[in-house]
Amino acid sequence: MDNRSNGLVRLRGITGLKSVDYYLVVPILALTIIGLYVLQKVLSSGYAAYPGNYYRQIVATAGGIFAAIIIAMLDHQFLKLVGRAIYAVSLMLLILVPIDGYSLASTWGADSWLNLPVIGNFQPSELAKIGLVLVASEIFESMAEKRVTLLKGFATMGVVYAFPLLLILSQPDFGTAMVIMFTFVCMLFAWGIKYRYFLLAISSVIVIFVPAVWTFYLEPYQKERILSLVFEGSSPKSEYNLVQSKSAIASGGLAGNTTGIYTSVPVKESDFIFAAISEHLGFIGTTTVIALAFFFICRCLYVASKVPSKASSYAMTGLAGYFAFHYIENMGMAVGLLPITGIPLPFISLGGTAMLINFMAFGVILNISMSRNG
Amino acid sequence: MDRETKSARSARYAIAAVFAVVLIGFAYLTYKLYDITVNNYEVYAHAAANQQWSLLTYSADRGMIYDANGMPLASNTYDYTVVCSPSLVTSSMLTRDQIIEACVSYLGVTYEKMDGILPLDPEDKEDPRNDVAGCDVTKNVPAEVKEAFEAYCKENKIKGFGYVAVPQRYYNYGSLASQVIGYAHNDGESLKGVYGLEAYYNGLLSGTDGYRYSETDEITGGVLPYSEATAQAASDGYNIVTNIDLNIQRIAEEAAREAYQKYNPIDGVCAIVMDPYTGAVLAMVSLPDYDLNNPYAMPYGMGELEWQMMSDEDRVNYIMSNCWRNRCISDTYEPGSTFKSLTTCMAFEENLTTEDEVFSDAPIEISGYAISCWLQKSHSYNHGDETLTKAFENSCNPIFAQLARRIGISKYYSYVRMLGFYDITGIDLPAEGKGIFHTDPQELDMCCLSFGESATVTPIQLIMSYCAIINGGDLMVPHIAHYITDSEGNVVDEIEPEVVRTVFSDQTCARVRTLMEGVVSDGTGSAGRVAGYSVAGKTSTSTIETGELRGCHVLSFSCYAPSNDPKIAVLVVINKPADHSVGSSSAASTAAKIVEGTLTYMGVERVFTEDEYDELLVQYYVQKVDGMTASEAASRVSTNGLSTIYGTIDMDSETIVARTYPSYTETLYKTGVVILYPEGVTEDQMLTTRVPNMSGMSAIECIEACLDLNLNCKISGEVTGVCTGQSVAAGTEVLAGEIIHVTLEFNAPVNQTTETEATTYQTGGVAGQEDGVLVETTLPPETEDGDEEESN
């Protein structure tokens, strides 16, 4: 196959459908359906913007699926280009965020939103996550194949990561920054970092980074969230969300709360949607979600270990880490295992940007998985 | 190639490591979920249910407290707590300062307090005052103040204030029976009794709050329509119907307050009125008292300046130990000579003496300590040899010490124990105390106790032992409450008279009662006499021997009346008057007022003896008061006990009196009534009234019947007889103040048909006097109206 001769973008033929990895598609579609079902329940129970917000979610989902199909059908060779494009656009948008008039800082705690014409409210940091994964995987591959020296490679990596990270941290969106760091670490692993370096990095992070972040970076409410997790009852104010969330989860019981009366949980439609899943579908529903997510991530990792292209393997690992982090952190905070951050549940939470970006990431994953087969 | 595989393998290991992390994460997540939904379901689901279901509490109404006649003594009301959300307190019309001023003037809060609550700028996130979601502005705001403030807020568009209704107690008669009723205080949740009946019967009075669980709207927290609710109506508290009679309580308080003002005793005045047969407490007074509706207010009788000087803590301590304290049941005092009745009872019960046995009043020495009569102490001589009856009347200590010695220590103290002095009486009030009695009594202890010294009792303990003497030997349990009724008034429980034990026989009691009659008629208790009612009792003066109050006296009088058919037992204790010369007659005269008022109220017939009539029927000239102001005239006229009435409605205390009716040439009894008239009142403008029918009445009844209608009465004939004729026919309209001559005959049958010819006395106008008429008779014209009686 000579891709280059057929123009910049060549979509794979219909035959590509045969090579679609249904082990990836089915769980994601199942999660999406569960998500839409639960969201309908949540939004219809008293949200003022219903059903407008629900329709927007459906449109975003449709748009996301469409984007995923397009990306999946792109020639594998173009992924790098797509990655760079996404990275560049996200960086531009991130620069726009702090500029007044675009942001929605007063509505949410973090100033991470853009109010774009046509598209509406949009979170560029979401986009940055995927861009970074794709760009970083390319750099890792270059280093792995010794096309660049480690020094030059990591220096480039530093520059590539520094701009979006600094912009995101200044928003401040600590959760997204953590996702980015985590995906980076995943790729670092996949790249094959020597464990002693890794341990060194971890310990330096613990010794230098954690205290520094705690002292200089974290806002009091963020500290409270972390402290209330460690010391139960230390801060009733920040524990409120958690107590409500646990109450809602518990009220679901095994198969959902059938009484038709639900607990009030803050941002139940998004950050705390896991609580709503439990309320409406019970322990069965939540374990199903966990199982689907787990299966999906495992499948990603399996594919990552099989794909011939190093960059694809790294990117796949990074994206698997990205989703794993989202799922674990979101569910973990809902049950009180992890500190509360504003990280939504992929394919389920209300949020057009997240839905669109997640499907784009899924498109990349599909694309990579299909490159394995043909 | 080798290297390639190696790196590929290491990459797979790395991916496996990521996989492991993910696996652990998800596994733990699942476990945690299981933990929440299954293991701790109850904990969290309960928290959830609390939000999904709103719990409305219906507060139960606290039961009422009624007097014996069903008049409410304690009832329920509401006041308000004013709350605000500081950052929301704004007005489109007023500045912050003006809002604060409104709070200060309406709610009485300080400017500083409001300044500390309200933020300067509700938008300023740095201002900590904006972080307060809600706070109390002030509590206990009466409904009318709250309404005024609310209206002001509405008028000036002030937002951000809220009002929370708080149930409060209202005491219909203020300070009346304050220590008996006690007060209830709202602790933020409900009313809780703090003192008195409110505390003792708190459980019964409180009732049970009702509740209603209903499903709530997740977003607004409002109750969902059509949702099924689990509800339990509040069961209101039970009512307490007391034995306390409002009127008797008033009479007793009035008499006790007079004594309190007159003698200003350090430890207050106690007065108890009991039904001796049932143990029902008809009235219980402890002075100083306090206003139940404002228990922290300055107590009655204290100087404003002194009160201002006290710190809040001192004030509370003062009120607590002086006003809130029910001295009748919590204070102890040396019973003194009142204990002699009990010693005598024991001696009679044991057949150790008789009324006529002659004893020597000479000092006796016991364990090196001389016991002598009060007369010996003050005048260095004693009553010499006298019968027990005389000794009882004279209250001679040595004789009772001799009696106690005859009884013997063990028997004596077993009687003391049987009389309940080692126990509380079990009255249904909190904080009952008991006297201090000897634990290992010696002869001297017993001899001193025989006349009421060396041990202390509570007033309620003492009067219960007297009730035993009065009712024939049964020691009763005193009860304030009579009935417990539910909120609909059905009787739930009746508190029956309760006999603790029978201590003395009927005969013993009757003999001692006879001795007590002598005390009032011939002995130390003469101040306890009440004309028309025979009072029997025993006085006591005990002296504080040690401490800074050394030399102070505790004066008491324990009595009952009427002596032939006792209706009430009364104890008055005047505890340590500042003036050491005040004698026991102070207590006796106070008790006499209570007896007189109570028996009159109870409708017990007054039986005057001839001597009492002699005193009652002394005639006094009406004083000449022409040209004086009305108030001067009234005080001049009343010097002999006569009462005055203003003859026209436009008279006041400054009006000059021109004439009186009857005029100063007339004589009247001390119960008489004189009408004062200003210049320019002609006879036909003077007050009129109608003559009552007094046929068959006793002298005192005639006098009272006339007095009720503003008439004067003159008795002739047999004073202890009944009325057979009156100078003016019943139903005739006469001038107020007219003297009606009444003829009494001894045991004469009442002749309804012969009535005095009234013509000679029928003076004054008859019609057209609406202007001047103050009192109109309610007596309907008698059927015999037309008949006329022979004048005598």
Q: Picking from A213-227, B56-70, B557-571, which range would have the lowest pLDDT averaged per residue?
A: A213-227
pLDDT > 90? residue B780: no
Nearest by CB to B12, from A247, A305, A332: name it. A305
On the question of a cis peptide bond just before residue B566, with omega within 30 degrees of 0, the verdict is no
Hey, are the CB atoms on B40 and A191 less than 8 Å from each other? no
Nearest by CB to A190, from B15, B43, B219: name it. B15
How, if at all, do strands B673-678 and B643-646 pair? parallel
- The pLDDT, as a whole number, for residue B697 is 84
Q: Picking from A171-175, B193-197, B296-300, B447-451, which range would have the lowest pLDDT averaged per residue?
A: A171-175
Residue B283: strand pairing partners: B273
Inform me whether the C-beta atom of residue A285 falls under 8 Å from chain B C-beta atoms.
no
Q: Is B713 helix (H, G, I), strand (E, B) or coil?
A: strand
- The pLDDT, as a whole number, for residue A313 is 86
Inform me whether the C-beta atom of residue A324 falls under 8 Å from chain B C-beta atoms.
yes
For the stretch B322-342, pLDDT in tens is: 889 999 999 999 999 999 999
Q: Which residue of A has its CA nearest to B38?
A: A253
- The pLDDT, as a whole number, for residue A259 is 60
Q: Single out the residue of A133, A106, A37, A33 nearest to residue A357, CA to CA.
A: A133
pLDDT band for position B215 (50/70/90)?
low
Nearest by CB to B19, from A298, A331, A336: name it. A298
Mean per-residue pLDDT for B248-277?
93
Mutate one of B33, B123, B227 to test the A interface: name it (highest A CB count within 10 A): B33
Give A41→chain B minimum CA distance, Å: 13
Torsion, CA B439, CA B444, CA B446, CA B448, rounded to 10: -120
Considering chain A, what is the average pLDDT of its residues? Answer: 77
Tokens 């020691």 correspond to B475
- The pLDDT, as a whole number, for residue B243 is 94
Task: Give the span between the Cα atoms of B280 and B427, in whole angstroms.
Answer: 10
Task: Give the span between the Cα atoms of B591 and B611, in whole angstroms.
Answer: 21
pLDDT band for position B119 (50/70/90)?
confident
Q: Enter the ipTM.
A: 0.72
pLDDT > 50? residue B1: no
Q: Single out the residue of B277, B252, B176, B325 nearest to residue B571, CA to CA.
A: B252
- The pLDDT, as a whole number, for residue B473 is 92
Residue A140 CB-half CA count within 13 A: 28
- The pLDDT, as a whole number, for residue A230 is 58
Q: Picking from A265-269, B83-87, B479-483, which range would have the lowest pLDDT averaged per residue?
A: A265-269
Nearest by CB to A335, from B29, B41, B45: name it. B29
Hey, are the CB atoms on A286 and B37 less than 8 Å from each other? yes
- The pLDDT, as a whole number, for residue B464 is 95
For the stretch A281-320, pLDDT in tens is: 888 888 899 899 989 988 888 888 888 888 888 888 889 8
pLDDT > 70? residue B684: yes
- The pLDDT, as a whole number, for residue B16 is 77
Q: Single out the residue of A245, A253, A265, A259 nearest to residue B214, CA to CA.
A: A259
Is residue B113 within 8 A of residue B135, CB to CB? The reply is no
Inform me whether the C-beta atom of residue A317 falls under 8 Å from chain B C-beta atoms.
yes
| Phi, psi angles (nearest 5°) of residue B254 | -60, -45
DSSP letter (8 states) at residue B173? T
| Phi, psi angles (nearest 5°) of residue B285 | -120, 135
3-state secondary structure B657-682: EEEEECCCCCEEECCCEEEEEECCCC
- The pLDDT, as a whole number, for residue B45 is 60
Inform me whether the C-beta atom of residue A338 falls under 8 Å from chain B C-beta atoms.
no
Is residue B335 within 8 A of residue B437, CB to CB? The reply is no
Segment (H or E) for B602: helix B585-602
Chain B residues whose CB is inside 8 A of the A328 CB are: 22, 25-26, 29
For the stretch B523-578, pLDDT in tens is: 788 888 888 888 999 989 888 887 788 888 999 999 998 988 999 999 999 999 98
Hey, are the CB atoms on A264 and B51 less than 8 Å from each other? yes
- The token pair at B674 is 């004189």
Chain B residues whose CB is inside 8 A of the A198 CB are: none
Q: Which long-range contacts (CB under 8 A, 24 or more apart) does B253-258 make?
A: B253/B176, B253/B177, B253/B283, B253/B285, B253/B287, B253/B289, B254/B593, B254/B597, B255/B572, B255/B590, B255/B591, B255/B593, B255/B594, B255/B597, B256/B285, B256/B287, B256/B572, B256/B590, B256/B594, B257/B287, B258/B590, B258/B593
Task: Give the span between the Cα atoms of A141 and A191, in whole angstroms.
Answer: 8
For the stretch B226-248, pLDDT in tens is: 444 556 677 888 999 999 999 99
Nearest by CB to B218, from A190, A264, A331: name it. A264
Mean per-residue pLDDT for B715-730?
83
Q: Picking from A22-26, B354-358, B372-376, which range would have the lowest pLDDT averaged per residue?
A: B372-376
Give A295→chain B minimum CA distance, Å: 10
Q: Which residue of B has its CA nearest to A329?
A: B25
For the stretch B500-509, pLDDT in tens is: 999 999 999 9
Mean per-residue pLDDT for B623-637?
83
Tokens 């990306």 correspond to A71
- List residues of chain B with CB under 8 Å from any CB of chain A: 7, 10-12, 14-19, 21-23, 25-26, 28-30, 32-38, 40-41, 43-45, 47-49, 51-53, 215-221, 224, 227
Mutate one of B39, B40, B52 to test the A interface: name it (highest A CB count within 10 A): B52
Q: Picking from A335-339, B13-17, B457-461, which range would have the lowest pLDDT averaged per residue?
A: B13-17
Mean per-residue pLDDT for B602-619?
81
Q: Count residue pairs from A and B with Cβ separation < 8 A.
A: 141
More confident residue, A1 or B652: B652
Q: Picking from A236-240, B138-142, B516-520, B587-591, which range would have the lowest pLDDT averaged per residue?
A: A236-240
Segment (H or E) for A115: strand A114-116
For the stretch B378-422, pLDDT in tens is: 888 888 899 999 998 888 899 999 999 999 999 999 999 999 999
Chain B residues whose CB is inside 8 A of the A254 CB are: 37-38
| Phi, psi angles (nearest 5°) of residue A369 | -65, -35
Inform me whether the C-beta atom of residue A247 falls under 8 Å from chain B C-beta atoms.
yes
pLDDT band for position B178 (50/70/90)?
very high
pLDDT > 50? residue B772: no
In sequence order, what are the residues at sequence separation of 6 or more whose Cβ sits closer than 8 angstroms to the Cβ of residue A134? Answer: A79, A80, A82, A83, A84, A86, A87, A315, A364
pLDDT > 80? residue B38: no
Is residue B135 within 8 A of residue B83, CB to CB? The reply is yes
Nearest by CB to B33, from A191, A286, A293: name it. A286
How, if at all, do strands B712-717 and B673-678 pair? unpaired
Hey, are the CB atoms on B14 and A331 less than 8 Å from each other? no
Hey, are the CB atoms on B17 and A189 less than 8 Å from each other? yes
| Phi, psi angles (nearest 5°) of residue B214 | -140, 155
Instruction: Give residues 226 to 245 of A whose Cβ lies within 8 Å of B.
Output: 243-244
Hey, are the CB atoms on B11 and A305 less than 8 Å from each other? yes
More confident residue, B102 or B783: B102
Task: Give the span between the Cα atoms of B756 and B729, in whole angstroms.
Answer: 6
Hey, are the CB atoms on A261 and B7 less than 8 Å from each other? no
Nearest by CB to A278, from B7, B18, B37: name it. B37
In sequence order, what are the residues at sequence separation of 6 or more whose Cβ sits closer than 8 angstroms to the Cβ of residue B187? Answer: none
Torsion, CA A275, CA A281, CA A284, CA A286, rounded to 10: -30
Chain B residues whose CB is inside 8 A of the A186 CB are: 18
What is the greatest pairwise CA distance in chain A? 65
- The pLDDT, as a whole number, for residue B406 is 93
